[in-house]
Structure 1
Amino acid sequence: MNRIKEVIKEQGFTITSLADKLGIARESLSRMIVSPSYPTLEKISNALNVPIWQLFVSPVEVTGEGELTALIQHKGDFYKASTIEELEQIVAEIKDKAN
Structure 2
Amino acid sequence: MINRSREIIELLNLKKVDIAAKLGITPVGLNQLLNTEKPKLETLERLANAIGVPVWKLVLSDNEIREVNLIEENIESEVNGYVKVKGTLYEVHSFEDLRKLLELNV
User: TM-score band, normalised by the shorter chain?
Assistant: 0.5 to 0.7
For 1:39 and 1:61, locate their aligned partners in 2 and report how far apart those are by CA, in whole Å: 21
Q: Partner residue of 1:23?
A: 24
The residue identity in structure 1 corresponding to 2:40 is S
Q: Structure 2-normalised TM-score?
A: 0.51
Size of the aligned set, in residue pairs, is 65
Distance 1:7 1:22, change over 3 A: same
> Gapped runs of 5+ residues in structure 2?
70-106
For 1:57 and 1:6, locate their aligned partners in 2 and report how far apart those are by CA, in whole Å: 12
- Offset, 1:60: 6.2
Distance 1:11 1:58, change over 3 A: farther
For 1:12 and 1:23, locate their aligned partners in 2 and report how far apart those are by CA, in whole Å: 20
> Gapped runs of 5+ residues in structure 1?
66-99
- Offset, 1:57: 2.5
Q: Partner residue of 1:7?
A: 8
Rg comparison, structure with higher value: 1
User: 2:9 touches 2:51 (CA, 8 Å); kept in 1?
Assistant: yes
For 1:5 and 1:17, locate their aligned partners in 2 and report how far apart those are by CA, in whole Å: 14
Q: What are the superposed Cα offsets for residues 35-83 of structure 1, whole Å, 9 maximum, x if unpaired?
A: 2222110101111121111002266642257xxxxxxxxxxxxxxxxxx
User: 2:19 touches 2:50 (CA, 8 Å); kept in 1?
Assistant: yes
1:24 alignment partner, SS class: coil
Task: Identify the structure with bigger relative contact order (alpha carbons < 8 Å, sequence gap 6+).
Answer: 2
2:50 alignment partner, SS class: helix
Identity %: 34
Alpha carbon RMSD of aligned pairs, Å? 2.2
